Amino acid sequence: MKNLLTYTLFSLIFLGACQPSTKEVNPPENAPPNVLFLAIDDLNDWLGCMKGHPNAKTPNIDRLAASGMLFTNAHCQAPICGPSRASLMTGLRPSSTGIYGQINDEKIRLADSSMADIIFLPQYFAQQGYKTMGKGKLFHHFAPAGTFQEMGGRVKGFGPKPEKRFKYDPEWFGKPRGTQTDWGTYPEKDEDMIDHQTADWAIERIQQSHEQPFFLAAGFIRPHVPFYAPQKWFDLYPLDSIQLPPYLAGDQEDIPAISQAVHDIPPMPTTEWAKEVGEWKAIVQAYLACISFVDHQVGKVLDALAASPYADNTIIVLWSDHGYHIGEKNRFAKHSLWEESTKVPLLFAGPGIRPGQSCSKPVELLDLYPTLLDLCNLPSYARNEGESIRPLLIDPSQDWEHAAITTYGWKNHAIKTERYRYLLFEDGSEEFYDHQEDENEWHNRASEPRYESIKAALKAQLPQEDQPWSPATSAGANDYFNAQKARFQ
């Protein structure tokens, strides 16, 4: 209780610190807005403002949401890091580039002949006169050479790590390698965490004088596995207080065989295993601890901005590259076309954005590129395949004809509206979920006649062209994807 009271008081102090700066600011008339671009790895909707988990303590991201617009139905374009980030930064869908698997940052432009002259989002801002600065996990590792004018450095692993894992290594259980999944309290101090250093770097840039408008990007790696954080963040979540997420054993018995193959993740722990060994609550606790740790780092950066001369002329956008299952659907992983894996936090705040808003219209990470150009009154980039969501920032209740599309491998797509999720696989197999009746996606309704016309309308919105797998990408440890990619080599 003492730790919770301390954290609550600490959070209230932060809440006050992040109010708009009262110091006199005299930017040039009609000065272009700055951009603070905050990326978080593997963060699902377990935020206080999104009500994704009842135990979540995220006061800093919550106050950011309260100061602007929270999109509650935003989705990634691919449910793993590399293709999701490549899509966001290029403005192109995975189905347009063939980037379906993980990819080295330097190979993105080599993925397809059409990519050779693509302009990455930060580079476009630089071409329009912005000073661009970036550090941390922004693409899969950091960023291709030359993406930012000031390159703060790539993420070198997801450490620090103990000499030996605490709870889980796939090889201990006869599984293939391919995950850093583990959980526990490590290291002792925040200062030893990579994200702490990224936040401090961003704060230093905010505190500098900039003659040009700036585009400042900070990429945080937690809560990516391993779920390690200092003890004080675990103390916020006593094990006996942890609530488990919704779970129905056997809920995947009604999905097609190809879906089972697509969603197979051999290296990862299953929920049934976690229940058997009594670790599920500990995994939930560790994931929540990592979220609160990274929320604190975000808060430090927000406070620095609020205290700076740039407070009133900076657009803030915060996003995650995909969601994460923490036990739902018998998995601890991303790697799926279901809600927990595709849904992401997406928040905007800054000049011209009314505070205290939320929007349930389906939007995509692909929309960030055109939206930021629109908000900064920059010329549009013709290659962008997303939509500016600036109209929703003005009026979140207006009609919105677009759906959100996630792609996992060649011709495997999920499409999400406000009510429905429709999955269509390369062999024509389907899944269909009505969130009005089944928000946990436990019952596949694809065969029910009452949804035929809805499925047809959704199918018409899916990509009309699906590029083959790029040889620059890797398929990972999944047999289905290895075989699918091999067909195109």
Distance between CA atoms of residues 207 and 284, nearest Å = 36
Catalytic residues: 81, 140
Residues whose CB is less than 8 angstroms from the CB of residue 393 and which lie 6 or more positions away in sequence, other chains included = 69, 348, 352, 353, 357, 371, 375
- Closest CA relative to residue 439, chosen from 360, 365, 340, 325: 340
Distance between CA atoms of residues 346 and 361, nearest Å = 12
Q: Which tokens is 24 given? A: 């006199």
What DSSP character marks residue 113? G
Instruction: Report whether 190 contacts 234 (CB < 8 A).
Output: no
What DSSP character marks residue 276? H
Residues whose CB is less than 8 angstroms from the CB of residue 20 and which lie 6 or more positions away in sequence, other chains included = 306, 311, 312
- Closest CA relative to residue 38, chosen from 290, 300, 292: 300
Instruction: Report whether 337 contacts 276 (CB < 8 A).
Output: no
Per the listing, tokens 């080295």 go with: 104
Q: What is the largest CA-CA distance in the chain?
A: 64
What DSSP character marks residue 449? G
Pairing of strands 69-75, 363-364: parallel
Which residues are paired to 163 by β-bridges? none
What DSSP character marks residue 293? H
- Closest CA relative to residue 342, chosen from 406, 402, 278, 294: 406
Distance between CA atoms of residues 422 and 441, nearest Å = 11
Spell out the alpha helix ranges (H) of 343-460: 368-375, 390-394, 452-459
Cis peptide bond upstream of 245, omega within 30: no
Instruction: Report whether 60 contacts 53 (CB < 8 A).
Output: no
Distance between CA atoms of residues 170 and 332, nearest Å = 13
Instruction: Report whether 325 contacts 46 (CB < 8 A).
Output: no
- Closest CA relative to residue 415, chosen from 397, 398, 395, 435: 435
